[in-house]
Chains A and B, each alone.
Chain A
Amino acid sequence: MLQVVDLTVQRGSRRVLEGVSLSVQSGERLAVHGPSGCGKTTLLHAIAGLVDIQHGVIRIDERDISHVPAHQRDIGLVFQDNQLFPHFDVVDNVAYSLRVRGMAKEERRSVAQEWLSRFSLSGLEHRRITELSGGEAKRVALARTMAGAPRVVLLDEPLSGLDDSLHEQLLGDLREVFDRLGTTVVHVTHDRAEGAALCQRTMELTHPDR
């Protein structure tokens, strides 16, 4: 279970988030909506441990992780613009989290291969990142996050910029994977229909100064 209590994040003198609280049960999926600039991405980065918080508590399964370094939180984050590692090919991107945990090369390649096939990426293992289409790059980013089997997955507008058919197809794939694995998800999106299609519950985030 993920719990965020009274979270405040400040950048310089500006408050980006103020007093935000949320709770997501294990296996539950929560969609977070809100206008541009209301701090949706910052909320995900704070939960993932990529920005410092000024006030509040973040817990996973009752354990306070507010000040635990990002690499020890076991929280996966899919960035809006994918942020694939440009010096790795597709399979090495997907296997990265397994590599940093010390898994043997053959074993991690086989796990990565499994995730590539789940996201319909078989055959692209050794493709360079710069040679992927927008949809393929999104799938690689999702496969990379899922391959590490994180306890919570944070999605930052993961389907934005895709055409309608690709959007629908990927939404279906994600729903299937999350249902099968019982993944806990916080999904930030401006598309209410997408949020409703993927998540059981929605939450509205507003500007901290309103």
Chain B
Amino acid sequence: MNLSTRNTTTDPIVRHAIGRWAAGAVVLWVTVFLGLPITVITAGNVAMDDVTRVLTQQSTWRLVWFSTWQAVLSVLVTFVISGPVTWLIGRHQFHGRRVLRAISTVSFLLPSVVVATAFLAVLPRSLHYTVFAVIVAHAYFNIAVVVRVVGARLELLEPQLAGVARTLGASPIVVMRTITWPLVRGAVSSAASVMFLYCFTSFAVVRVLGGPRRSTLESDIALRAFGIGDVGGATVLALVQLAYICVVVGIIRLLMRSDIAYVRAAPPVLPALPHQCRSIASVIGSVTVVFVVTPLVALFWRSLHVRDRMSLEAWRSLFDTALAESLRASARTALVAGVLGTLLCCIATLAVVHLRRGGRAIDALTLLTLAMSPVTVGLGLIVTFDSGWFDWRDRWWFVAIAHTLVAFPLAVRVLVPAWRTTPVGLHHAAAVLGANGWRRLVDVDLRRMRPALVAALGLIIAVSLGEFGAASMLSRDGAETMPVAINRLLSRTGDVVRAQAFAMASLLVVVCTAALIVVESAMKRGDHAAGR
């Protein structure tokens, strides 16, 4: 079966025209809601004085230093925690492997504010507002990244390569050094860089678990812009952060150039877990499950306890107080972001698959939006759209616009591969059976793309539900999204409000896990339909 890149229409002129229109639409959207705001905050709010003031302050470099070392330490701790389970899942077949993988990746789509809240629920008070709490919470998130990125590469490694090396005289350590490590090194650096960027720009975790004395660049941008009204200083910090990220991304790309492209069509059959390794595997599996599940259980448990006794008070208050408005705000924001984002994704996908160089440029543009910190996106939007007809700061859908920018690059990476794996033969078969271009689009493309579209929609909704950085900038009192409301509740004292925060976070866990299940099953159906 020919699985080469295929196109909706066989006419290259029409194809190119569709691609150009699609690319134009994406560029317009990104320019208006990202390019313009960045230009406005850069040009309109940064005076030379601000630059000098911020860059000469010792506190700025302390922020950079703290952001860097906590991110490096978080990455190292993540590898220590997730290494054994990744090796177990990636190299061996055993009963319960799929369940263990599902549990270890459950944190993938959990909102950062929820994870931070869960660690408040599970850690003793003496560890609240410490660097330890921040780093462990970062590691909790990042387990999923290591299992997904490094585990997937390990699965693709041919188990017999190690056997060959051993028959050629290599000891197990030499096999690891000369064969296994060079073949997984690229995945390890890729995972490390994703985790580093995530931890470096961490906002919710640092804000909830770090306490008032600890800030990353990201959380200080928010504090300056909205806490003390220093928009100029916040903008300079945002630019410092952007420059830092660009340098890191550049270094990562240089490192990745030496990655070995070792791609197999399908994973080889993994060897069964050796008998003598079963007990150590049970320990690794159990520790991982306990590490992932305990904070979530603690979150739910603490939501049921008010003033040291069991109570449903916190849960009831979610639905009959002002907090209910947060649920409604989150739901409608996520729905609008989902619909808008999926539409934008489809358009971006058309541009990527129909244009050659232009497609690569659109792909890079979506990556750029991914690299922008949500707080900076929110700051830019609020500064830009603030007057006359374009004063959208009070509009509830403004948050949804920000969420499409944050989430659609991820969803494009779901749609493009699905579109590209539609066999060209199916298209030709439909054509010779009399289907015109539209019928082929409906009967072949859309039918095959349906699981990927559902997955993209679910992904954007899940990201929107949990997004905290941009929402904390754009949400207004009375229409806060759930993560913003959770943060506000946690900043107040009292057993009841804390239990309410735990209850709301528990609700987000349930909704986001449901969205994740929808995404996973849709992607599985898509893989099945593509014959993978």
Also in contact, A148 and B169, with CB within 8 A (given A85-B179, A87-B182, A87-B260): yes
Contact status A87-B183, CB under 8 Å: yes
Also in contact, A77 and B164, with CB within 8 A (given A100-B169, A101-B169): yes
- Residues in chain B near residue A48, CB distance under 8 A: 163, 167
Contact status B183-A86, CB under 8 Å: yes
Task: Decide yes or no whether A115 CB sits under 8 A from chain B.
Answer: no
Known interface pairs A70-B163, A85-B165; 17 further A-B residue pairs with C-beta atoms within 8 A, sorted by A's residue number: A45-B163, A49-B167, A71-B169, A71-B170, A71-B172, A72-B169, A74-B169, A76-B167, A77-B163, A79-B160, A85-B179, A86-B183, A86-B262, A100-B171, A100-B178, A145-B167, A148-B169
Task: Decide yes or no whether B161 CB sits under 8 A from chain A.
Answer: yes
Q: With A and B bound together, what is the CA distance between A190 and B160 in angstroms?
A: 22
Can you list 15 A-B pairs, Cβ within 8 angstroms, ordered by A? A70-B167, A71-B169, A73-B167, A74-B169, A76-B168, A79-B164, A83-B164, A87-B182, A96-B165, A97-B168, A99-B178, A100-B169, A100-B178, A144-B168, A145-B167
Task: Decide yes or no whether A123 CB sits under 8 A from chain B.
Answer: no
Task: Decide yes or no whether B272 CB sits under 8 A from chain A.
Answer: yes
Distance in angstroms from A82 CB to nearest chain B CB is 9
Q: What interface size band does chain B fall in?
A: 20 to 34
Contact status A96-B168, CB under 8 Å: yes
A-B contact count (CB 8 A): 71
Q: With A and B bound together, what is the CA distance between A50 and B272 in angstroms?
A: 14
Q: For chain B, what secondary structure do more than half of its interface residues adopt (helix, strand, loop), or is it mixed? A: helix
Task: Decide yes or no whether B174 CB sits under 8 A from chain A.
Answer: yes
Contact status A69-B166, CB under 8 Å: yes
Contact status A75-B168, CB under 8 Å: no
Interface 1/0s, chain A 77-114, versus B by CB < 8 A?
A: 10100010111000000001101110000000000000
Contact status B164-A100, CB under 8 Å: no
Also in contact, A70 and B166, with CB within 8 A (given A83-B160, A86-B260, A100-B174): yes
- Residues in chain B near residue A96, CB distance under 8 A: 165, 168, 170, 178
Task: Decide yes or no whether B230 CB sits under 8 A from chain A.
Answer: no
Which partner residue on chain B sits nearest A45 by CB separation?
A: B163
Q: With A and B bound together, what is the CA distance between A129 and B220 in angstroms?
A: 51
Q: With A and B bound together, what is the CA distance between A86 and B263 in angstroms?
A: 10
Distance in angstroms from B255 CB to nearest chain A CB is 15
Q: With A and B bound together, what is the CA distance between A15 and B182 in angstroms?
A: 36
Distance in angstroms from B278 CB to nearest chain A CB is 13
> Which residues of A10-29 are within 8 A (CB) of B?
11-12
Also in contact, A83 and B161, with CB within 8 A (given A12-B272, A100-B174, A100-B178): yes
Distance in angstroms from B509 CB to nearest chain A CB is 39
- Residues in chain A near residue B164, CB distance under 8 A: 77, 79, 83, 85
Q: With A and B bound together, what is the CA distance between A73 and B168 in angstroms?
A: 9
Q: With A and B bound together, what is the CA distance between A71 and B161 in angstroms?
A: 13
> Which residues of A147-170 are within 8 A (CB) of B?
148
Among A71, A72, A75, A101, which residue has the most Cβ atoms of chain B within 10 A?
A: A71
